Amino acid sequence: MKKLHVLIAAVGLLMAGSASAQTKIAYVRIDDIVSVMPDLAPEKINMDTVGAQFVKDSVMPRLNYVQSEYNRKLTEYSDSTKPKSVRDLILKDLQAFQEELSNADAQIQQAQQYKQQELLKPYYAKAKKAIEQVAKEKGYTHVMNTDVFLVAPEADDISLAVVAKLGIKLPNPPANNKPAPKTGN
């Protein structure tokens, strides 16, 4: 009986060893790859202004309306001839408008981020396809983003191979052979 347990444990270890031999993990810096794509070069597109027209057309009309209503209600509230119950209702409206106006920056930023993500979606899809191709060519079964790992072998970083697969020429490769880090945000 004891031999059977040892045999089962040995078979289990062998199976676990063979299963881990089949898993090969790479990592990639997809944000850095997308940031060096020629179509997204700063001289071609200013990411800070992406979505500005969308904000102007969709968010600003509402905010302008709320501002004008706030001003109108403030004038009504200042009218001391109105009964207290009416002024109390106007005050509730004023508070709601004031809250919406205080969140205006967040609404504008959210709208711009939405438009940026919408613009970048095809570039991320293109990068993902290249990542899948490089992973297949190099025999990787899993590819993760660098933020998943605290420590990983440099040899398993396939970022430069993906950049090459996309046909992107890096202007000045850094000394450590990594794509230039994204600056700014």
Cα separation, 127 vs 164, in Å, equals 11
The answer to whether residue 7 scores a pLDDT higher than 50 is no
Residue pointed to by tokens 């570039």: 123
For the chain, how far is it from start to end, CA to CA, in angstroms?
Answer: 64
Domain ranges of the chain: 23-165
Q: What percent of the chain has pLDDT over 90?
A: 51
Cβ atoms 140, 152 nearer than 8 A: no
Residue pointed to by tokens 């209702």: 89
* For range 2-9, the mean pLDDT: 50
Distance of CA 37 to the CA centre of its chain: 16
Cβ atoms 29, 159 nearer than 8 A: yes
User: Does residue 58 or residue 8 have the better pLDDT?
Assistant: 58
pLDDT digits (tens, 9 = 90+) for 91-147: 999 999 999 999 999 999 999 999 999 999 999 999 999 999 999 999 999 999 988
pLDDT for 10 equals 47
Q: Which two tokens stand for residue 164?
A: 């090459």
Fold of the 23-165 domain = Protein Binding, DinI Protein; Chain A (3.30.910)
The pTM (predicted TM-score) of the whole model is: 0.66
Cβ atoms 130, 162 nearer than 8 A: yes
